[in-house]
Amino acid sequence: MKTHVLVVDDDPGTTGMLRRFLAYEGYSVSIAASGDEALTRTLEHPPDLIVLDILLPTLSGLEVTQRLRAAGDQVPILMLTARDSVADRVEGFEMGADDYLVKPFAPEELLVRVKALLRRNQAIRYEVLRYADVELDMGTRLANRGTRKFVLSPTEFDLLALFLRRPRQVLTREIILNCIWGLDFEGSSNVLEVYIGYLRTKLEAEGEPRLIYTVRGIGYVLKE
Amino acid sequence: MKTHVLVVDDDPGTTGMLRRFLAYEGYSVSIAASGDEALTRTLEHPPDLIVLDILLPTLSGLEVTQRLRAAGDQVPILMLTARDSVADRVEGFEMGADDYLVKPFAPEELLVRVKALLRRNQAIRYEVLRYADVELDMGTRLANRGTRKFVLSPTEFDLLALFLRRPRQVLTREIILNCIWGLDFEGSSNVLEVYIGYLRTKLEAEGEPRLIYTVRGIGYVLKE
DNA sequence: GTTTTACCTGAGAAAAAGCTGAGAAGAAAC
DNA sequence: GTTTCTTCTCAGCTTTTTCTCAGGTAAAAC
């Protein structure tokens, strides 16, 4: 399946050029000429990347970005600006754009940035964490131990991911609390114990051997 | 092994100050005065974090960042800018810097950001302490003498670590009590003797030769 | 050789740390 | 509006760790 790029611009010259150029480079391309057309197309057929002009009819590129991010859409966005307006650039980043390009630009320059964004995004999207017979797919958010699949709540998921990124390392309670709950000090709460309990019942069900060990007075480890 | 910070600036005043300050805070510090020196040093001995001035001879901080990121290096970068230039800031983030600080800055402020970046990246390096045939892994918290593994309680662990950091050196009872128990004076307690005993039974089990010797009237030594 | 001092060690009390079931409060889905 | 899911707190319980005590042993002093 080809990587799909949505190009949003109201100038037919620009869109035509980008369509030909990106198609030639092996991408499948669709075009939108206005802000709300961009949103509609994104909902109908989510692209892998959006090239988005700032100056658009109906909704500006900034507004499109803002709405997509508000809806939780993480698609990489490459913004195009007519002039090198620092204010626009800053605002764009604030809204959640991932990169910028100033018009006029050389098509090769756009290609470099498109590739960089896709690489960055794919690396994150398709990461699967593994240790022993445990797998955690960061894309689908599914977990399994051997053939047994199980689902995790958001916090359980983050916690397991943290352990899977540092197998065999003892993670101190302090580090875990800080990474997962953002707590800088250890209060009187015992959330951590509770969530370790939750994770164990899911991770070590059906009499499977222990994977999360407690290191008394320090924290916990993931190990065989 | 200490966390390693590379400071890149062409002003000897700044680098000298940062070297002393960061060294005092427990980091190992190296200095580069130009952009390509920074790249060379990073390749030779990858640091855990880079403090990078924007204005540099040969290659600017922005270019250094760009090249490192292009090479797939994910090391956290803290940028220093002479003035609060929004354009520089945006460009810096675009290139892949992780945080920035406007000169002049208070050293404490830098420290806060350095710590935050290191924590975020979890670039905490653990060392393995060794003496004779004893190993103590600070990351996994596993101890072994030769092939025999054993586990230690938190206090036993701290005590053994203290000895392993100063092999062959006599540690006075006063120093040990202060380091491990935070006691400033020697009360009527005999915790120290008890814990030396615990450590010996674990460290010198199965007829292995003595490693912790008592120096009567003074304290204890770790030696062969 | 005896006394004194410092240290060792077994037993067990006290304290700390961690586990788990029950359930309240809030958020999200229906 | 109701139901479900998620997060978090609380309280009782279990386990481990820490520390004290008391009697014993070894080294130094006399």
Residue A143 makes CB contacts below 8 A (sequence gap 6+) with A134, A135, A136, A137, A149, A150, A151, A152, A157, A160, A202
Instruction: Determine whether the interchain pair B140/A178 forms a contact, defined as Cβ–Cβ distance below 8 Å.
Output: no
Mean pLDDT of A146-159: 92
Distance CA B191 to C1' D10 in A: 35
pLDDT above 70 covers a percentage of chain A that reads 87
Model confidence at A90, pLDDT cuts 50, 70, 90, reads low
**Identity of the highest mean pLDDT range in A63-67, A120-124, A131-135, A211-215:** A211-215
A117 vs B38, more confident: B38
Dump pLDDT digits (tens) for B165-209.
Answer: 989 999 999 889 988 887 777 667 899 999 999 999 999 988 889
The pLDDT of residue A188: 77
Instruction: Determine whether the interchain pair B119/A86 forms a contact, defined as Cβ–Cβ distance below 8 Å.
Output: no
Which residue numbers of B have CB closer than 8 Å to A's CBs? 86-87, 90, 93-94, 119, 122, 124, 126, 139-141, 153-154
pTM of the model: 0.60
The pLDDT of residue A36: 87
Helices vs. strands in chain B: H and E counts, helices first: 8, 12
Rounded Cα gap, residues B85 and B101, in angstroms: 11
The bases of strand C with some atom under 7 A from any protein CB are 6-11, 17-22
The secondary structure of B170-189 as a DSSP string is: PEEHHHHIIIII--SS--S-
pLDDT at A22 exceeding the cut of 50: yes
Which residue numbers of A have CB closer than 8 Å to B's CBs? 86, 89-90, 93, 99-100, 165-166, 168-170, 175, 178-179, 215-218, 221, 223
Distance CA A191 to C1' D3 in A: 25
Model confidence at A171, pLDDT cuts 50, 70, 90, reads very high
3-state secondary structure of B131: strand
CA–CA min distance B69, chain A (Å) = 10
Query: Which nucleotide has its C1' atom closest to residue B181's CA?
Result: D18
The pLDDT of residue B160: 96
The pLDDT of residue A4: 83
pLDDT at A92 exceeding the cut of 70: no
CB contacts, 8 Å: B122 with chain A: 165-166, 175, 179
- Specify whether the CB–CB gap between A210 and A219 falls below 8 A: no
Dump pLDDT digits (tens) for B39-95.
Answer: 988 877 778 899 999 888 888 888 898 888 776 677 888 988 876 555 666 666 667
Model confidence at A125, pLDDT cuts 50, 70, 90, reads very low
Query: Which nucleotide has its C1' atom closest to residue B156's CA?
Result: D17
Closest protein CA to C1' of nucleotide D6, residue: A153
Closest chain B residue by Cα to residue A85: B87
Model confidence at A86, pLDDT cuts 50, 70, 90, reads low
User: How deeply is A9 buried, as exposed, middle or buried, from its count of CB atoms within 10 A (0-12, 13-18, 19+)?
Assistant: buried
pLDDT at A49 exceeding the cut of 70: yes
- Specify whether the CB–CB gap between B76 and B117 falls below 8 A: yes
pLDDT at A122 exceeding the cut of 60: no
Range with the poorest average pLDDT among A14-18, A55-59, B68-72: B68-72
Mean pLDDT of A29-36: 88
The pLDDT of residue B10: 92
Rounded Cα gap, residues B172 and B216, in angstroms: 10
* Bridge partner list, B131: B134
Instruction: Determine whether the interchain pair B126/A169 forms a contact, defined as Cβ–Cβ distance below 8 Å.
Output: yes
A82 vs B50, more confident: B50
The pLDDT of residue A191: 94
Element (H, E) at A68: helix A61-70
CA–CA min distance A111, chain B (Å) = 15
The pLDDT of residue B83: 64
Rounded Cα gap, residues B179 and B162, in angstroms: 8
Rounded Cα gap, residues A103 and A81, in angstroms: 6
Dump pLDDT digits (tens) for B101-157.
Answer: 887 887 877 887 887 677 655 545 577 899 999 999 998 999 999 999 999 999 999
CB contacts, 8 Å: B94 with chain A: 99-100
Rounded Cα gap, residues B29 and B21, in angstroms: 10
* Residue B207 backbone class (left: φ over 0; alpha: ψ -120 to 50; beta: rest): left
Closest protein CA to C1' of nucleotide C7, residue: B193
Rounded to the nearest integer, the mean pLDDT of chain A is: 83
Q: CA of B164: how far to CAs of A135, B147, B159, in Å?
A: 38, 18, 9
The arrangement of strands across the sheet holding B219-222 comes to B171-172, B219-222, B212-215
Range with the poorest average pLDDT among A18-32, A86-100, A104-118, B149-163: A86-100
A165 vs B71, more confident: A165
Closest protein CA to C1' of nucleotide D5, residue: A153
pLDDT at B24 exceeding the cut of 90: no
Instruction: Determine whether the interchain pair A166/B93 forms a contact, defined as Cβ–Cβ distance below 8 Å.
Output: no
